[in-house]
Amino acid sequence: MIGYGNTDIGRVRKVNEDDFCLLHNQHDDWIAVVCDGIGGSAAGEVASHMAIGIIKDAFENAPAFQKDFEVQNWLTETLNKANDEIYYHGMHSVDQHGMGTTCVGFITLMVARIFLMLEILESMQNIKRDWFK
């Protein structure tokens, strides 16, 4: 598989609040995630960058998944960690209080033949998850 990614500031904003990752790990799994900082909130670009960094680190060190529930548990744990760190960071910084990001992506697991999509809407502080196979 070959993948490419790019973000664009668009026509309205002065700061690009997007961040993304497209990774292949040692288990032949792939993850693609795009985080878009919430416009109108403080430091959306910081929140999206933090979320991507946490997801990247977790994916690079993820175990080999064999079952869909293992992936769902890993995703839940990883996204909760991102949420907690973004929330904590925002609570302890006057300039970044209330920051948040959206997050969408997919994971393909070659060994288990699993394809999952993830969607977190509105904010890493107000998570809604939809799991698809």
pLDDT digits (tens, 9 = 90+) for 8-37: 777 877 888 889 999 999 988 889 999 988
CATH number of the domain where residue 66 is located:
3.60.40.10
What does each C-alpha distance from 77 to 82, 108, 123 come to in angstroms?
9, 18, 16
Average pLDDT for 84-97:
89
Structural domain contains residue 5? no
Q: Report yes or no on 79 lying in a domain.
A: yes
Q: Which two tokens stand for residue 118?
A: 């993830």
Stronger pLDDT, 19 or 121, i.e. the higher one: 19
Residue 63 in any domain: the answer is: yes
Q: In the chain, how many domains are there? A: 1
**93 is a domain residue:** yes
10 in any annotated domain: no
Does some domain include residue 132?
Answer: no
What number of helices (H) and strands (E) belong to the chain?
2, 4
Contact by Cβ (8 Å): 102, 123: yes
Domain range for residue 41? 18-120
**For residue 123, what pLDDT is reported?**
43
Does residue 131 lie within any of the structural domains? no
Give the model confidence (pLDDT) of 42-84 as tens digits.
788 999 999 999 999 999 999 998 887 888 899 889 999 999 9
